[in-house]
Structure 1
Amino acid sequence: MVHTAVPELYEDDAHSVVEIRTDSLSSLRELGPPDLVHIVKQPVKSSAKQIGIYHHVTGIDASSSASLAAYINTLTHQPHDKQNKVISGLYCCYNAFSRVDMRVQVQIPGTVESYCVDERGNKLEATEEHWLETYLCSVLRAYSYADNGSGDSIKRIIGVRRFNPVTSTEQEHKFLDAAEKLFFSGWQLGSDPEIQVPNLVANHLTSGLLHYIRTSGRFTSGINLFEKLRTRDPEISSLLAKVYIMGDEEVKAIQLLHEAIEELPMDYSLLDCQAEFCIKKGRGDLALEIAKRGVVSAPSEFGTWARLAEIYVALEQWDHALLTLNSCPMFTYQDKDAPRLPEPARVSLPLAPETICDEIDDAGAAPEVDMVHPTLRRLAAGNYKGTFHKAYMLLTEITKKIGWDQLLKIRSQVFVMEEEYRNEKQHQPGDRSRNASTVALRGTDTPQPNGHGEPEVHEPPSSADSDGPPQANGEPQAAASHLDPDVSKPSQSVTVRATESSTPEPPHPPAPHANSSSSATNNTEQDYTQFHHKRLCERWLDNLFMVLYEDLRIYTIWRTEAAQYRQQQLAYKKSAEEWEILGELAERLHRDDEATEAWSNCLGMRFSPKAMRGMLAAFESKRDGRSVLDSLIRLVAWQYRWYSEFSPDLLFTTRKLIEQEGAVKVRSIIQATSLPQHILDLTHQYAGLCAAFSSSGTDG
C-alpha cells in the first residue's frame, strides 16, 4: 500500500491554531471543516525550543479515541526530518450532530486523553454516542471534501491528506450501521446549497449515502438499508427508488414510486424522482404534469422549478422554459465549512518517492504565473455555484438549441422590456393602477412572479456598460466591429427589485396559453403580443443574460481569431491558463469539441489536472477505454502527489471502466503504459478497491 507524504504547516508563534479552531466552532453551520492534526516537535539534541506544526485530514476512522491516537503515532517517524522529534499531538474532529469538537491528546511517550469542546470552549466528557456521531460525520466529510479530479478542492485548502474511509465490506457495514442509527437526525447536518430547507430525504447524510452507493456500486447494501428505513417512514421510498435506478432495476423502481405516490400524492421528492426518470427516457410529455405537481407541492424549493424548466426545454417550449426559470427561488451560495486559520509561518510540502513523476508535475500549488488577458479573467460565469450555476446551465442549454437571436426574441415577448415600460408610462401618466408592475401581474392568466403581491419596480439601470443604447422590443443591437454580428447585446428588461431579507415565494407553474405549441416559431407571437400578458424579469435572470452575452462574445472572438490564424497558416497562441479558461468557457456553452481542443492545447504546454479532467470526460463520452485509462493514471498520480489517496469520482470512473472492459484487460492496459511502475501502482490500488467490493467485471 502506497501512502502519501505528510504536509507540514508551521504555526505562527503569535497564533495558536487550536485556540483559533475553538473560537470558530460557534460559526460552523454544517459538517464542519476537515480534521485538524496539531503536533509539537522539539530538536533531538535540545528541549529548549518547541515547534507547532499542523495539517488537515479527512477519512480517518474517528469511531474511537484509539484510532485517532494511532494516526498521531504514525507521524512520529518521519524520514525527511531527523533533526526533530514529536513530543505530543492533538487530533481535532468535529461532531456536527452534537456541535462539539472531539479531541484526542497524545503525549509521546505517555498518556492518551480524549474529551470534547463545545461552542463556548467548555471541556466536556466524550461519550459513546459522541463517538458514533463523530465517526459518521468523518465519513461524510471524506466524501464532501473529496476532489473530483480537477484539483479545485485540493488547491482550495492547502495541506489536506485525504483517505478513503471505507475500503472493505467490514468498514461498509460499520458505516451503514451508523447511518441507520442516526438517519432520522440527518436533517441537523444541513444540505446541499440548492436545497432551502433540509429534510428527512434531502440532507448531507442522504447525499453522502447516495454518493457512496454510486461510487462503490454496492447497490444491494443500499437497497437493504433503505428497505429497513422505509418501514419506519414511507417518504424514504424516493431514496430507495433512486438506488434501484442506479442499480439498473428500473421496473422495481417504477413499481415502488407508483405505490409510494398513491400513499403520499404530494411528496415532492417522490414526484421529482418520477419526473427525472421520465425525462431521461425521453418522455417529457409524461414528466410535465408530474413536475407541475412537484412545484405545487414544494413551491419554495429550487429543485422542483429547475426540473420543470428542464422539461420545458426538452419539450422545446422555450417561452415557458424562460418563465419557469424566472420563477425559480434563488439562494445565496453557502460554501462548505473551511478552516479559518491565519497564514502559516512556513509551509513544507514534501513528496513521497512513489508519487514523483516529471510528466505530471504542474509546478505545484504555487499561484499561476501565466499571462492571462483581462477579459478572460473577468468572465463571471465561471464563479457561479449552487442555484445560479444550475440556472445558468439551463439558459446556455436553451441558447445552444435555438441560438442567441431567437433567445432574445422570445425574451422580449415574455418579459416587459424597458422601451415598453417607458411607453406605457407615457400613455398612462395619471393612472397609477396601470403601471408596468400591476399590468404585468394582473393579466387574466398571468400569476404573480414571486407571490409577494405587487413587487417594487425600479427604473432600469443606465446602459453605461452597454455598447450602445438599448433597442425597443429586444431587437439586438450591433456588437463591436470585431465581433460576429450574430452575437448582440441584449436590451434591458424591466426587473423586479431583489430583496435581501428572504427568498420570495414563487408562483404556481405558468399555465400554457390556449394557442401555445411546442414550437417557438408558432406560439410566441400570438401568446405575448399584449403588454398585459408579460412578466417582470427577475434581476438575477437579467444579469444572467448579460453574463451569457459576455461568454458568447469572448467565445465568438476566440473562434473567429482561430479560424483567421488557420487560414493564414499561423499558430494561434495562448498561455496554458488561458487555454484552461477557454476550455471551461466552451464547456459552459455546451461546445464539447471546442472544449476538448482547448484542454488539449493546455496539456500540450504543461500538465493541468483541470484540463486532464476535461479530456477524461470527453474520452468517456466517446467510450475510448484506453484513452480514459491514460488520463485516469495521470490524475490519480497527481492526486497522490498532493496528499489525496481518495477521489470518489476517479474511483467511480475506474469501476465503470472495469465493468465495461473487465478487470484483467484494465490491469493489462495499465501495466502496458509507459510510465514508471510506482505511478502505475497507484492506479492498481483503485482497481484493487473494486475487487475488494466484488464490483461487476472483477474476478470476484
Structure 2
Amino acid sequence: MPAPAVPEITEEVLHESIDARTESLMSLRELGPPDLVHLLKQNLRNPGKQTGVYHHVTGVDASSSASLAAYINTLTYTKEHGQPAAHKIVEGLYCCYNAFSRLDMRVHVTIPGTVESYCMDERGEKRKATDDLWLETYLCSVLRAYSYADDGSGDTIRKIMCVRRFNPVTSTETEHRFLSSAEQLFFRGWQLGSDSVVQVPNNVSNHLTAGLLKYFHTTGRFASAINLFEKLRTQNVEVSSLLAKVLFMGQEEVRGVRVLYQALKDSPMDYVMLDAQAEFLLKKAQAAQSPEQREERLKMALGCADRSTIAAPSEFGTWARLAQIYVAMEDWENALTILNSCPMFTYQDKDAPLMPEPKNVFLPVLPETRLDEIDSEPESRYEEQVDPSLLNLRAASYRGTFKQAYNILTEMTAKIGWDQLLKIRSSVFVMEDEYRSERQDTTQPAHARNPSTDGLRGTPDATVNDDRSDEENVSNNANPSDTPPAAPSSLTNGNGTIEESSVERPTHTIDPGEVIADGDTSTTTDEHLSRLNNKRLCERWLDSLFMVLYEDLRVYTIWRTQMAQYRAQSMQYKKSAEEWEILGSLAERLHHHDEAVEAYRACLGARFSPKALTGILRMYEKQKNTRDTIASVIRLVTWQYRWYSEFSPELLHTIRSLIEEEGAVKVRSIIQATSLPQSVLDLTHHYAALCATFRSSGTDG
C-alpha cells in the first residue's frame, strides 16, 4: 500500500508554526491537537535560501524518539511528482502532545546528523524526555488517532487542513503495546478529560475509556477487551461497567448481565453501571416480539434509569436515558418533563491547531486515488449557490448535549406530530399567556392598560429566542427578540406524502427568571396561582430548541410542498448539490429517512459528496444490500485517501461487519468485480486485509 501523499503548508516567516504551537500549549484542554511535522527545505540551486513547510499527522508510532525520527526520514524520500527535486530537507521537527503531563514532546532531526529529543512545557521551557513520558505520549497519540479520525462523511477532514491520518494499530503486536500502555495508565485516564456530554470525568468515563471502546467496536477484538477489563476489575469494581459493555458488543449478553448484577451488589449506586443496564434493557425492549415483553423490559429499564439520575443528578447522560425510555413508553408528558430537567453543558470541541496565515498551501493528489467523479468535486463545490434560509438552520450546528436533547425532541415529533407536541408542551409548562392573565387578575383591572403592560414580552406579537447559540443562552441568560411569524404551510407524514396542516409557531413559555423577579414585587397569592401549581417552568434552552425545531419543520415543509407541486406539473425540481446535501441532513434530523435518501441521491446526481454517500450507506447497511454497500465504501475510502487519510474506524467497521455476515472471499470478490481502476480497489482491499490480520469472524472461509 502506498502512503498517502504529503501536503505542505509554506510559512510566511521561518518557524512561525512552531512558535504558534508553543504559545497554544497553555490553552489546550483535551487530548491536544494533531502532531505537527515541520521541515526545513534548502534550495539546491541557492543553498542559502531556506523554506519552512509543515503538515499535521495522526497515528504515527510515538513510543520513542527513534520512531518519530524515522517518520521524518521517510519524508526525505518522497518524490516531487516525478519532477527533478528542487529542494532537499535539511532539518525536521516532530511535535507530539502528551495530555497526561501537559507537555509537548519534540524530536529534532538534522539531515544528515543527529537526533535530539526533549519536551516543552506550557511556559515554553525545555525539559528532559523520560521513558515514562514517552509511554504517556504513545497512548495519547493512539487515542488522538481514533478521536480525530473521520467517520466517512468528510466533516472531520475539512475541519483541519493538511492532516495525514494513519491507523495506529495495524497488527496484534501493536495492539498488545497499546493495551499494555492503557492498562498501566488506566486509572489516570480521568486526567485526559471526557466527552462534552460528561460533566465530571471518572475512572470509566473519560477519553481513554472512550478510545478503548471505540477501538474494540471497530476491530471486534472482544477477547482482548474482556481480558483487559477482567484484570482491571480486580483493582476497581467500577470497571465492571466497561466489561459488561464489551460483553454486550460481543453478543455475550447473559455473561454481561451477570457481571452487572454482581457488581451492583458491591456498588449499588454506580451510575455508569445503572445506565449500562438501562441502555441494554431499552435495546431489548425495542427488539421485543410482543407488547407484553416490551412493556416489561421498559419498566425494568425505567427503574434502572430513574435510580441512575439519583446517583448522578448532575450528569446529562442519565437524564437523557430516562427521557428516551419515556419516549419509548409513549409517556410524552414525562418525557418532556425529564428532558427539561437535563443539565446542559457548553460544548468543548477537540483541540485544533491555531496557525498563522500561510504563504502557500500545496495539496498533491496521489495517482492511486484518481477517480473522475471524486476529482471533480472541489471545483463543483466552489461554483454552487445556496439559499440563505438553508444556511441559517441552527440545528445543523448543534453538538454535545444540545444535539442529543434535540434528537429526543425530534423523535417525539416524528412519532406524535408537531401539533400534538405543542399541546403536550402547553399542558406540562407554564405558558406566557396563562402567566400574564393570572398576574393581570391579581394586580390590576382587566380593562386597565398602560405602556408598561403593552411592552411585556409576548404582547402583542409572538417572539423567538435570539440568534445566539443555546450554549450562550444557558450561560448568559440572554433575552429573546422579536421575529415575524411565518406563513402556514403543509407538512409531510412519516410516509412522505403531503397532508395539509399548518406549522404553527410555538408560543413562549414563561421565563423562570422573570417569575422570580415578579415574585419580589407582586402581591399574587397561592390561591390565585392555583391553576399553575401543577405545571413546570420551561428552561430557556428547551424553549429555544422548540423554536429551532419550528424553523426546521417550516423549511422541510416548504421543500416537500414544492416538490409535490412540481411533480404534479411534471416539472423538474432544481437545487444545487450543496442545497440537496443540506436538505438530506435536515430530513435525517427530523427522522424522515426516505426523504433524506431522496435528497442525498439528488446531491450525488449533481456531484460527488462524501456526506451524502455516507447517509445513503447507512440505508444500505440497514437493508443488508451488500453490493451497494461495498460500492459506497470503495468510493468513500478513495475520497478519504485522496485527502491524506488511510484510516476511518467507521469504514473499517463496515467492512468487518460485511465480512462477518458474507465471508471474506465473497466480499473480496465483489470488490474486485467492481469496474473501477485496480489502484482504487486496492485501497479497500487494504481494509479487508486488516480484518484478516486481526482474524475477524468470517476471514477463515
Cα drift, residue 343 of structure 1: 2.1
Q: Distance in 2 between matches of 1:22 and 1:49?
A: 25
Q: Distance in 1 between matches of 2:436 and 2:230?
A: 60
**Uncovered stretches (5+) of structure 2, i.e. residues with no partner:** 286-296, 445-473, 492-498, 515-528
Q: Does 1:488 align with 2:504?
A: yes
Task: Give the 3-state SS of the residue equivalent to 2:317 in structure 1.
Answer: helix
Q: Does 1:465 align with 2:474?
A: no
Cα drift, residue 47 of structure 1: 1.1
Q: Distance in 2 between matches of 1:632 and 1:457?
A: 44
Residue identity in the other structure for 2:597: T
Look up the match of 2:488: 479
Look up the match of 1:176: 179
**Uncovered stretches (5+) of structure 1, i.e. residues with no partner:** 431-454, 469-477, 499-527
Look up the match of 1:571: 572
Change (3 A) 1:529 1:224: farther
Task: Give the 3-state SS of the residue equivalent to 2:104 in structure 1.
Answer: strand
**669-678 or 356-365: which moved more?**
356-365
Residue identity in the other structure for 2:416: I
Q: How does 1:239-638 map to 2 (within 5 A)?
A: 239-282=242-285, 283-364=297-378, 368-429=382-443, 461=480, 464-467=482-485, 479=488, 485-497=501-513, 530-638=531-639
Task: Give the 3-state SS of the residue equivalent to 1:533 in structure 2.
Answer: coil
Give per-residue Cα distances to partners, 1:121-155, cap 9 Å, x unaligned.
11010000000000000000000000000000001
Cα drift, residue 530 of structure 1: 3.4
Residue identity in the other structure for 2:615: G
Q: How does 1:66-215 map to 2 (within 5 A)?
A: 66-80=66-80, 82-215=85-218
Give per-residue Cα distances to partners, 1:73-126, cap 9 Å, x unaligned.
011122216100000000000000010000000000000000000000110100
Residue pair 2:490, 2:558 contacting (<8 A) in 1 also: no
Residue pair 1:467, 1:480 contacting (<8 A) in 2 also: no
Q: Distance in 1 between matches of 2:675 and 2:11?
A: 41
Residue identity in the other structure for 1:692: T
Cα drift, residue 44 of structure 1: 1.3
Look up the match of 2:53: 53
**528-537 or 286-295: which moved more?**
528-537
Residue pair 2:597, 2:615 contacting (<8 A) in 1 also: yes
Residue identity in the other structure for 2:223: T
Give per-residue Cα distances to partners, 1:434-468, cap 9 Å, x unaligned.
xxxxxxxxxxxxxxxxxxxxx99999845x31418
Residue identity in the other structure for 1:681: D
Residue identity in the other structure for 2:700: D
Residue pair 1:418, 1:492 contacting (<8 A) in 2 also: yes
Residue pair 2:100, 2:191 contacting (<8 A) in 1 also: yes
Q: Distance in 2 between matches of 1:186 and 1:323?
A: 34
Change (3 A) 1:538 1:408: same
Cα drift, residue 484 of structure 1: 5.2
Q: Distance in 1 between matches of 2:25 and 2:237?
A: 36
Cα drift, residue 363 of structure 1: 3.1
Change (3 A) 1:457 1:531: farther
Cα drift, residue 427 of structure 1: 2.1
Q: Distance in 2 between matches of 1:225 and 1:127?
A: 26
Residue identity in the other structure for 2:418: W
Cα drift, residue 2 of structure 1: 2.3
Task: Give the 3-state SS of the residue equivalent to 2:18 in structure 1.
Answer: helix
Look up the match of 2:672: 671
Residue identity in the other structure for 2:96: C
Cα drift, residue 406 of structure 1: 0.2
Give per-residue Cα distances to partners, 1:189-215, cap 9 Å, x unaligned.
000010011110000000000000000
Cα drift, residue 488 of structure 1: 1.1
Residue identity in the other structure for 1:592: H
Residue identity in the other structure for 1:494: I
Q: Does 1:28 align with 2:46?
A: no
Q: Distance in 2 between matches of 1:249 and 1:77?
A: 48
Change (3 A) 1:456 1:214: closer
Residue pair 2:386, 2:576 contacting (<8 A) in 1 also: yes
Look up the match of 2:290: none
Change (3 A) 1:341 1:365: farther
Look up the match of 1:434: none
Residue pair 2:151, 2:648 contacting (<8 A) in 1 also: yes
Task: Give the 3-state SS of the residue equivalent to 2:378 in structure 1.
Answer: coil
Residue pair 1:237, 1:260 contacting (<8 A) in 2 also: yes
Q: Distance in 1 between matches of 2:64 and 2:476?
A: 58
Q: Distance in 2 between matches of 1:638 and 1:497?
A: 50
Look up the match of 2:238: 235
Q: Distance in 1 between matches of 2:277 and 2:530?
A: 36
Q: Distance in 2 between matches of 1:276 and 1:59?
A: 32
Q: Distance in 2 between matches of 1:171 and 1:133?
A: 15
Look up the match of 2:450: none
| TM-score, structure 2 as length reference | 0.89
Identical residues among aligned pairs (%): 64
Residue identity in the other structure for 1:119: E
Give per-residue Cα distances to partners, 1:210-246, cap 9 Å, x unaligned.
0000000000000000000000000100000000000
Q: Distance in 2 between matches of 1:480 and 1:284?
A: 37
Q: Distance in 1 between matches of 2:377 and 2:358?
A: 20
| TM-score, structure 1 as length reference | 0.89
Look up the match of 2:494: none
Q: Distance in 1 between matches of 2:656 and 2:114?
A: 43
Residue pair 1:164, 1:646 contacting (<8 A) in 2 also: yes
Q: Distance in 2 between matches of 1:153 and 1:456?
A: 27
Residue pair 1:458, 1:495 contacting (<8 A) in 2 also: no
Q: Distance in 2 between matches of 1:104 and 1:387?
A: 39
Cα drift, residue 638 of structure 1: 0.3
Residue identity in the other structure for 1:217: G
Give per-residue Cα distances to partners, 1:458-488, cap 9 Å, x unaligned.
99845x31418xxxxxxxxx72699953311
Task: Give the 3-state SS of the residue equivalent to 1:192 in structure 2.
Answer: coil
Change (3 A) 1:193 1:116: same
Look up the match of 1:471: none
Residue identity in the other structure for 1:465: T
Change (3 A) 1:77 1:456: closer
Q: Distance in 2 between matches of 1:628 and 1:587?
A: 19
Residue pair 2:597, 2:616 contacting (<8 A) in 1 also: yes
Residue pair 2:150, 2:648 contacting (<8 A) in 1 also: yes
Residue identity in the other structure for 2:417: G
Cα drift, residue 285 of structure 1: 1.2
Residue pair 1:587, 1:595 contacting (<8 A) in 2 also: yes
Change (3 A) 1:582 1:123: same
Q: Distance in 1 between matches of 2:440 and 2:382?
A: 54
Give per-residue Cα distances to partners, 1:279-305, cap 9 Å, x unaligned.
001121110011010000000000000
Residue pair 2:146, 2:214 contacting (<8 A) in 1 also: yes
Cα drift, residue 392 of structure 1: 0.2
Q: Distance in 1 between matches of 2:251 and 2:442?
A: 61
Task: Give the 3-state SS of the residue equivalent to 2:41 in structure 1.
Answer: strand
Look up the match of 1:452: none
Look up the match of 1:518: none
**394-403 or 276-285: which moved more?**
276-285
Task: Give the 3-state SS of the residue equivalent to 1:413 in structure 2.
Answer: helix
Change (3 A) 1:84 1:366: farther
Q: Distance in 2 between matches of 1:534 and 1:459?
A: 23
Change (3 A) 1:277 1:679: same
Q: Distance in 1 between matches of 2:635 and 2:403?
A: 29
Look up the match of 2:471: none
Look up the match of 1:654: 655
Residue pair 2:380, 2:607 contacting (<8 A) in 1 also: no
